[in-house]
Chain A
Amino acid sequence: MTDGKDLKHVNEDMRKLLARAAFGRGDFEDLFVVPVFAVVAALVLGALIMLATGVDLPTIGKSFVALAKGSAGSLNAVSETLTAAIPLVLAGLGLGLGFRAGLFNIGAEGQLLLGGTAAVIFTFTFPSLPFPILMLFGLLAGALVGAAYASIAGILKATTGAHEVISTIMLNLISFRLLEYLLRQPYIQREGRSDPVSKSVPEGGQLPRLLDWLDPNLRLHAGVFLMLLAVAFVWWLLFRSKIGFAFRASGANPDAARYAGMRSGLVIVAAMATAGALAGLAGAAQVQGVLGRASPGFSAQMGFDAIALALLGRSHPVGILFAGILFGGLEAGGRQMQVDAGVSIDLIGIIQALIIVFIAAPLLVRAIFPWGFRKMTKGGKS
């Protein structure tokens, strides 16, 4: 063994260490370049799908203009984007937290539905409570019910090993039926209605509108502060608290975490309950801020969009915030697109799915866009 070869090794090691310490090009690519390429690629493919379904070129151009205008083109558009982002970010934070703990929770949809329903029931049960108290208790009711519902899957996983993907999907399907049942109960159903619609959230339980002094049509509500608070809280929980460390350790290597003395069952239940609380909060914020009542399927697939969001945001609270604003913009822009260009809003779902494909498979993005990326070193990260 010669000295020269040894030195070369040391050099190599040093370079690797430095690369890990600094916010390097690799991180930049992962956090910015890949998402941007993913969004662009998804939009291009979306255009191709429109072409394939017989939409002509001018209409495609018009729909992209409408998409941009509807998401960021005016104060109303920005307000709509943020309003749509609020429940998505809240639920996405919960899912991201679950991913960090190694739990693939598909159940946000059901937790969100039941949380929102609980908030509605609580607020119309105590209409005499004054404004901030009723509103806060409504949110709390939503969070608690969401947490309890998610805990079912957590406890089953911790005690029997039931895979959370299947149990949360089943809990979703159960929650749809349960909601249909609840909305037909005389206590909950609105008087004089034969369709399943709940009573309304009273004035004191609503999240106040923030911009209605400018224009009564602006729907942005105080939930936006709740969203920012939740981002900060989840960041603190994950990266500064002891239980958050246990979440991340169990997610990264469950065996190592167990040997280090962390109680895996407890971590699973706690992570599921926190995720469920955030999803329940998302439902409560949606009914108390926007909808004002519960009806079948009021969650409008938000719980599933939130999965995409958490993946897009790399399960990082700040990433989820930006991803949520992007998805909120797609949602608001999609509505504009449907009105202006007559292209179905379901296209947005396809674009979202494509974005995640490209985000979750960086190798695929690199294969499609070979430029813009550093050449991969052999055995480098995938």
Chain B
Amino acid sequence: MSAVTTDTSAEKVASAKARQARITGGILIGLSLVVLFLLDVAAGEVATFKLSRPRDTWVAPDLVVPGAFNTIAAALLAFLGVRQFLRGGGRWTSLSLGIGIALVVLAFLVWATAGKSFSLTGMLQATMVRAVPIALGGLAGVLSERVAVVNIAIEGMLLAGAFTGALMGSLLGGWGGLVMAVLVGGMFGMILAALVVTFRMDQIIAGVVINLFVLGLTSYVTSQVFAHNRHLNNAEIFRAWKVPILGDIPVIGPMLFNQNLFVYGALILVAVATYYLFHTKGGLRARAVGEHPRAADTLGVDVYFTRYLHVTMAGMVAGFGGAWFTLGSVGRFDENMTGGRGFIGLAAMIFGRWHPVGALMAALIFGFADSLQQKLALLNTPIPSEFLAMAPYIATIIVVAGLIGKARPPAADGKPYVKE
């Protein structure tokens, strides 16, 4: 959009907003019909959600939801939709859509669990675990895009971290593997910075190339070396460590305080990054480089150094996230085991509006979709598992399509800076 605001363009914006509101209203009404007819629960059937395991210190009672919940959800959805359609909700549009989608997910859970029981706590715990690589990928994206370097290479950095974690973890033990994974991730961050800052390569091409290179190298070593030397690909893993007392709280305990190093690490890194970016001098400088490098340069900030530093840090964060795949779960590296998590992390970053906490929240949503898919396979729903597996990807597309207009990337994002 140009900065010129004439009457016609203002009208255009207003009508576009009204149209968007109407579309949202239509979607909500459609969802209410879906819930009413497709997710219909027979009267009298109840869905039982287990909140704790029998051997827990404090046992919380099971959550029993009657099937009528879905009828109520459909009515609420219809109300939101009609209201949106008639009134053109303005700033309520996103909120209504958010509430609407949450209602559909809940209704879906009730429908899938009707007549059976389902461990909600287990799913929330898995959500947390599965959100880790996505959140760390998103955080890596935030760090590098805040200094205006588009980082498509997160996928490759995660893969490099996973590979190094397995190899070095087998040779040096878990902690050694973790440190090396972080260092190798940082190395690829530095390579990306060198390619785009010093050699002024197109940022997206540089990212794609790093992804291809890491995929090629790790696959080559896996089939050339690991196939004959199993002991090089057999690292010990970091097991869950329960925080005393806090870990015994029902629901929240298993979710937040009975996890492995990577979950705690991700939460701490998000907090540290938020403080650093928005409350310190260094963070302010970094953001200035991302918004207006020329101005930052004029004021004495070394643009090139700042970009090198932050993209390298992003690589280290992604390397840590990559180690989760091997040291945090199975201890063994498989070809292309990251399976697109880095790109989902990138989407989480956009969804989270280039903010570390936002990226974490978005990652939790993706993690939720991912673990939901896994658990629903156990419930024998009539939906083919392939379609459930697609859900996070479709959600990513919807997020990227639906929110990009409202979220604003750093102004200089993707542009190389040539010092005069």
Residues of chain A at the chain B interface (Cβ within 8 Å): 49, 53-55, 104, 106, 156, 160-163, 165-167, 169-174, 177-178, 180-181, 304, 307-308, 311, 343-344, 346-354, 356-357, 360-361, 363-364, 367, 382
Given A177-B386, A304-B212, A363-B199; A162-B220 close (CB under 8 Å)? no
- Chain B: minimal CB distance from A219 (Å): 24
List B contacts of A349 (CB < 8 A): 212, 215-216, 219-220
Residues of chain B at the chain A interface (Cβ within 8 Å): 152, 195, 198-202, 204-206, 208-209, 212-213, 215-217, 219-225, 339-340, 343, 346-347, 350, 384, 386-387, 389-390, 393-394, 396-397, 400-402, 404-405
Contact A166 B346 (CB under 8 A): yes
Q: Which residue of A lies closest to B218 (CB)?
A: A346
Contact B202 A353 (CB under 8 A): no
Contact A170 B224 (CB under 8 A): no
Contact B343 A166 (CB under 8 A): yes
Contact A347 B220 (CB under 8 A): yes
Contact B404 A160 (CB under 8 A): yes
Q: How far is the CA of A344 from the CA of B220 in the complex (A)?
A: 6
Q: How far is the CA of A122 from the CA of B402 in the complex (A)?
A: 35
Q: How far is the CA of A180 from the CA of B201 in the complex (A)?
A: 37
Known: A171-B397, A361-B195. 7 other contacts (CB 8 A): A53-B225, A166-B343, A170-B393, A170-B396, A180-B386, A346-B220, A352-B212
Q: Which residue of A lies closest to B339 (CB)?
A: A173
Contact B220 A177 (CB under 8 A): no
Q: Which residue of B lies closest to A163 (CB)?
A: B400
- Chain A: minimal CB distance from B213 (Å): 4
Q: Which residue of A lies closest to B210 (CB)?
A: A353
Q: How far is the CA of A162 from the CA of B398 in the complex (A)?
A: 9
List B contacts of A53 (CB < 8 A): 220-221, 224-225
List B contacts of A166 (CB < 8 A): 343, 346-347, 350, 396-397, 400
Contact B394 A181 (CB under 8 A): no
List B contacts of A361 (CB < 8 A): 195, 199-201, 206
List A contacts of B219 (CB < 8 A): 344, 346, 349
Contact A352 B400 (CB under 8 A): no
List A contacts of B221 (CB < 8 A): 53
Q: How far is the CA of A180 from the CA of B215 in the complex (A)?
A: 23
Q: How far is the CA of A346 from the CA of B389 in the complex (A)?
A: 28
- Chain A: minimal CB distance from B407 (Å): 10
Contact A353 B213 (CB under 8 A): yes
List A contacts of B212 (CB < 8 A): 304, 307-308, 349, 352-353, 356
Contact A344 B209 (CB under 8 A): no
Q: Which of B195, B220, B404, B405 contacts A357 (CB 8 A)?
A: B195
Q: How far is the CA of A26 from the CA of B279 in the complex (A)?
A: 49
Which 8 residue pairs of A and B lie closest in terms of their CB atoms, listed nearest first?
A349-B216, A346-B220, A353-B213, A350-B216, A181-B386, A353-B212, A162-B401, A361-B201
SS class of chain A's interface: helix, strand, loop or mixed? Answer: helix
List B contacts of A346 (CB < 8 A): 216, 219-220, 222-224
- Chain A: minimal CB distance from B413 (Å): 11
List B contacts of A308 (CB < 8 A): 212
Given A166-B346, A166-B347, A181-B386; A382-B200 close (CB under 8 Å)? yes
User: Can you list 22 A-B contacts (CB < 8 A)?
Assistant: A49-B217, A49-B220, A156-B400, A160-B402, A165-B152, A167-B397, A169-B340, A170-B393, A171-B397, A172-B340, A178-B386, A344-B224, A347-B220, A347-B224, A348-B216, A349-B216, A350-B213, A352-B212, A352-B216, A361-B201, A364-B195, A367-B199
Q: How far is the CA of A301 from the CA of B262 in the complex (A)?
A: 31
Q: How far is the CA of A167 from the CA of B208 in the complex (A)?
A: 15
List A contacts of B386 (CB < 8 A): 177-178, 180-181
Tell me which of A160, A166, A178, A307 has the highest count of chain B C-beta atoms within 10 A of its own C-beta: A166
Q: How many A-B residue pairs have CB under 8 A?
A: 132
Q: How far is the CA of A177 from the CA of B340 in the complex (A)?
A: 13
Contact A160 B216 (CB under 8 A): no
Q: How far is the CA of A54 from the CA of B225 in the complex (A)?
A: 8
Contact B216 A364 (CB under 8 A): no
Q: How far is the CA of A170 from the CA of B386 in the complex (A)?
A: 14
Q: How far is the CA of A329 from the CA of B222 in the complex (A)?
A: 24
Q: Which residue of A lies closest to B225 (CB)?
A: A53
- Chain B: minimal CB distance from A67 (Å): 15
Q: Which residue of A lies closest to B227 (CB)?
A: A344
Q: How far is the CA of A156 from the CA of B405 in the complex (A)?
A: 12
Q: How far is the CA of A123 from the CA of B329 in the complex (A)?
A: 44
Tell me which of B204, B212, B347 has the highest count of chain A C-beta atoms within 10 A of its own C-beta: B212
Tell me which of A104, A173, A311, A363 has the highest count of chain B C-beta atoms within 10 A of its own C-beta: A173
Q: Which residue of B lies closest to A171 (CB)?
A: B397
List A contacts of B198 (CB < 8 A): 363
Q: How far is the CA of A361 from the CA of B198 in the complex (A)?
A: 10
Q: How far is the CA of A349 from the CA of B208 in the complex (A)?
A: 13
- Chain A: minimal CB distance from B342 (Å): 9
Q: How far is the CA of A55 from the CA of B404 in the complex (A)?
A: 49
List B contacts of A172 (CB < 8 A): 340
- Chain A: minimal CB distance from B366 (Å): 11
List B contacts of A352 (CB < 8 A): 212, 216
Q: Which residue of B lies closest to A354 (CB)?
A: B213
Q: How far is the CA of A311 from the CA of B400 in the complex (A)?
A: 26
List B contacts of A350 (CB < 8 A): 213, 216-217, 220
Q: How far is the CA of A177 from the CA of B223 in the complex (A)?
A: 25
List B contacts of A163 (CB < 8 A): 350, 400, 404
Contact B384 A181 (CB under 8 A): yes
Q: Which residue of A lies closest to B201 (CB)?
A: A361
Tell me which of B225, B386, B402 has the highest count of chain A C-beta atoms within 10 A of its own C-beta: B386
Contact A162 B400 (CB under 8 A): yes
List B contacts of A354 (CB < 8 A): 213
Contact A160 B405 (CB under 8 A): yes
